[in-house]
Amino acid sequence: MLSETVIHARWIAPVDGRRRWLENHAVVIRQGRIVSILPSDEAARAHPDAERVDRPRHLVVPGFINAHTHAAMNLMRGVANDLPLMPWLQQHIWPLEARFMSRAFVADGTDLAMAEMIRGGTTCFNDMYFFPDVAAERVEAAGMRAAIGMILIDFPTVWAASADEYLDKGLEVHDRWRNHERLVTTFAPHAPYTVSDAPLAKMRTYADEMDVRVHMHIHETAFEVARAVQDNGQRPLARLDALGLLTPNLLAVHMTQLTEAEIARCAAAGVHVIHSPESNLKLASGLCPVQTLLDAGINVALGTDSAASNNDLDMIGEMRTAALIGKIAGDDAAAVSADTALEMATLAGAKALGIAADTGSIEIGKSADLCAVDLGAPETRPVFDPIAALVYSATRQQVTDTWVAGRALMRERRLTTLDLDALAARNNAWGDKLAAHGASNQENQRHAQ
């Protein structure tokens, strides 16, 4: 194996706040790190013995960071459609999880999700799901980067029987992976309506002591907010603020229902917002006021949510949707520009996860987490602005290569660490089981009527 790799590209978008893109440049990688960014002819002369990767029609960008996922739910893609959030959860998703959740389910679902993400240029994802120990093992095997959520819910599941057990098992996961170069952990309380005050207070103490992020669905729907006011007289954010959770460690997912005062409070507290536009649209949850949040100084990252509610993990598609609906939500065609969308999908995600010193932009010293997108296809020609072409015209099928820490996880559309044929066989078996369960439930309901 050569000690150096030099990736030559038609364009490089560093997302470094200084240059929009560089033309005919190369990224020099040594031991998984970016050691130089040079004009291609200079790089060729300076590194004649390095492995040379030529991508003459491509835009190279930082690997996408999917800042909100439930990876194993890829096995439930399409099981329930055209429903609002609570009926979708209560009548379909939670019953399936109660019936089928297992270590094998999470292993196979996570592998399927990672195959999809790598093929779309995603190098890192922030996960929230059962059996986080299994998810971490699958990430390690596949070579991706991830934030693994230490899930917390009030009610018992196959993963844990009580809030204390959720926390104890989560801490075990944290201790096992705490020094891993590609894995971090977060506390992952599901939502204000599924976690009560006492567990949240205990978790907050751990999070403060350990300086660990907290990843939580918050203000996802108007129903959630109204129900909270009805039940305890407080909007969810106010309750979380009273518990001391509004800090720079909070990753608030969705945030479609916000007042001016709440935006100001989140900005003052340093809260990060994770925007999942396609899931919000599909579940009719609402529109996150992205440009207003950005104007207030809030870091806004981008995530797909699960393939059960999206129904894909396509970060290029998510960027386009975020940019387009951001203009409607802000009543301004200049809102959520292509450059902003790309930053939300890369560096903003790294900042939210606390890993921006290591990834999220193409800069000397950072990990070589990259993807290459072929802009030479008819669908993206001519290219006047490669970033706009990526966000508004390209598709994930145009991603040809994905690298994490300099290692090619996909090379010219071929995965190197995951076997698609083996994955297909396992995923088809799960699909048959879930479909049979759904058919059986429908038959039982028919007889009951």
Q: Note down the domain range covering 297.
A: 64-353
Residues 334 and 185 in one domain: yes
Residues 168 and 296 in one domain: yes
**Which tokens go with 253?**
């997912």
Rg (CA), the chain: 22
Q: Which segment of 81-90, 124-133, 337-346, 391-400 scores lowest on mean pLDDT?
A: 81-90
CATH number of the domain to which 199 belongs: 3.20.20.140
Residues 300 and 184 in one domain: yes
Residues 337 and 398 in one domain: no
In a domain, 87, yes or no: yes
Q: What is the pLDDT of residue 1?
A: 41
Partnered with residue 305 across adjacent β-strands are: none
In a domain, 449, yes or no: no
User: What is the share, in percent, of the chain residues with pLDDT greater than 70?
Assistant: 97
Q: What is the pLDDT of residue 3?
A: 82
Instruction: Count CB-CB contacts under 10 A for residue 63.
Output: 30
Chain segment 12-51, per-residue pLDDT in tens: 999 999 999 999 999 999 999 999 999 999 999 999 999 9
What is the pLDDT confidence band of residue 86, given thresholds at 50, 70 and 90? confident
Whether the per-residue pLDDT at 342 is higher than 80: the answer is yes
What is the pLDDT confidence band of residue 442, given thresholds at 50, 70 and 90? very low
Residues 103 and 214 in one domain: yes
Nearest to 151, CA basis, from 110, 194, 114, 108: 194
What's the rounded mean pLDDT across residues 124-142? 98
Chain segment 271-286, per-residue pLDDT in tens: 999 999 999 999 999 9
How much is the pTM? 0.95
Q: What is the pLDDT of residue 89?
A: 87
In a domain, 393, yes or no: yes
d(CA 421, CA 411): 17
Whether the per-residue pLDDT at 104 is higher than 90: the answer is yes
What's the rounded mean pLDDT across residues 328-349? 97
Residues 218 and 92 in one domain: yes
Q: What is the pLDDT of residue 448?
A: 40
CB 410 within 8 A of CB 119: yes
Whether the per-residue pLDDT at 439 is higher than 90: the answer is no
Residues 164 and 54 in one domain: no
CATH number of the domain to which 49 belongs: 2.30.40.10
Whether the per-residue pLDDT at 447 is higher than 70: the answer is no
Q: What are phi and psi of 272, to 5 degrees?
A: -95, 140
What's the rounded mean pLDDT across residues 213-241? 97
Q: How many domains does the chain have?
A: 2
Question: What is the DSSP code string of 181-231?
Answer: SSEEEEEEE--TTTS-HHHHHHHHHHHHHHT-EEEEEES--HHHHHHHHHH
What's the rounded mean pLDDT across residues 100-105? 95
What is the pLDDT confidence band of residue 84, given thresholds at 50, 70 and 90? confident
d(CA 309, CA 305): 7
Mean pLDDT value across the chain: 95
Residues 403 and 338 in one domain: no
Q: What is the pLDDT of residue 436?
A: 86
Whether the per-residue pLDDT at 449 is higher than 70: the answer is no
